[in-house]
Amino acid sequence: MVSSHRYLQLDQVEPGMTLADELLDGQGKVLLPAGAVLTESILARLPSHGIDALPIAVPPAQAEASVDRDAVLARLAHVFRGVDPHDPAQASTRLLRRLVQEYRLEGTTQ
Amino acid sequence: MIAIPLERLTASLEDLPSLPAVVMELLNSIDQEDVDIAVLAKKVSHDQALTAKTLRLANSSAFGLQTKVTTIQQAITFLGFQATRNLITAAAITGCFAENTCRGFDHKAFWRHSIATAACARILARHKRLNQDFAFTAGLLHDIGRLVLVSGFPGHYEQVLAHRAQEDCSVLEAERAVLGTDHMAAGAALAGHWNFPETIRLPIALHHEPETKGAGFLSAIVHVADAMVHALDIAGEKDEKAPAVSPVAWAALALNEETCLHVFRETELQFAEISELLLMG
């Protein structure tokens, strides 16, 4: 099961967000499985099922209310300790590090 | 150096636990379309533990089914034969190797890494519109050679782990320094012994050298998935160390930034669920 989620009003839900739990209609029929990625067309249909809020998955990286920026950076430096900052042959490894850093710090104030 | 010659490596394969016959059959026929599905479904159903584990996986949200499946035949109907075969393989193989034969080798961390790589490889394959099921199985089995070495030569492998810790090098470098061979060679030997098809054998044999001529695109996918999973620090190893990413493999996948972030997120979510199902009990 998704480790963490929050309820959002339908108008705050954006396409691309992930549903944290099974979504049932009034009769208990499954409309969407847990883990479904919400699209614009899905969201547009929900009001007709009487749904006005959704449990939205919070990615593990953001689960803790405040990501400890320094801890994230220190851990990344440790995991990527073998990477030479100047070797052109390791450019893709450095890029991967930058992407993971961006991912881990997503949503934190810079 | 306490080198393991190839003959001893090959001989050690005989002592490995064998997979259930039906799983061997599934793995060996992975690139064949004309398998009698009804017969296989029936054979799998005779193994209740395997069936239960497979169905739990099939019903996990990672596979996005709208209805709960309760039989292997149903899983095949809703998920397709290839995907179901994958799940059966995953369910069987994660329980197959004995634990704790080698001091310092963390079986749970090993499978966490393998499962995360399987999930990530499957997600990458979907983005590249390639067969997701092959990618999942190849990701799951890519490091299987490490288990061959750990099971067949536990004493030797303890020294590999000690060397790795002391030098802070990669597992691959430590294996080569101590054993004169590595887990890609051991994995390739096992793939031959168990008659894995070429599609799965190549990434097992070449995932650290995806730029090798003839390695195939799946080797590049598994290579990048392996690197991403190390970088995401998913296995929970204290001294996790990200490996160098092959520029050739990275360029071959041509991922943009947005795709990468999406792949990271999806990998973590799927990993959390699949690992709980596969590693329980």
Can you give B114-171 as a three-state secondary structure string?
A: HHHHHHHHHHHHHHCCCCHHHHHHHHHHCCHHHHHHHHHCHHHHHHHHHHHHHHCCCH
Closest CA to B183 of B218, B221, B140, B148: B148
pTM: 0.77
Average predicted confidence (pLDDT) for chain A: 82
Whole-number pLDDT of residue A110 = 46
* Strand, coil or helix: A78: helix
Binding-site residues on chain A for chain B (CB distance < 8 A): 1-3, 18, 30, 33-36, 57, 59-61, 75, 78-83, 89-93, 95-97, 99-100, 102-103, 106
Is the Cβ–Cβ distance between B234 and B112 less than 8 Å? yes
Is the Cβ–Cβ distance between B153 and B216 less than 8 Å? no
Average predicted confidence (pLDDT) for chain B: 88
Mutate to test the interface with B, among A3, A25, A72, A79 (most CBs of B within 10 A): A79
Q: Which residues of A touch B65 (CB under 8 A)?
A: 33
Whole-number pLDDT of residue B144 = 93
| Beta-carbon contacts below 8 Å between A and B | 92
Q: A30-32 and A53-57 as β-strands: parallel, antiparallel, unpaired?
A: unpaired
Q: Name residue, tokens 């089914």.
A: B65
* Strand, coil or helix: A75: helix
* Strand, coil or helix: B71: coil
| C-beta atoms of A92 and B268 within 8 A | no
Tokens matching residue A45? 């249909």
Q: CA of B64: which chain A residue's CA is closest? A: A33
Q: CA of A36: which chain B residue's CA is closest? A: B64
Closest CA to B219 of B142, B144, B146, B143: B142
In which residue ranges of chain B is pLDDT below 70?
30-31, 33-34, 95, 100, 280-281
Write down the ipTM of this complex. 0.85
Closest CA to B93 of B41, B152, B44, B27: B27
Confidence of residue A77 (pLDDT cuts 50, 70, 90): very high
Q: Euclidean distance between the first and final Cα of chain A, in Å?
A: 30
Q: Which residues of A touch B268 (CB under 8 A)?
A: 59-61
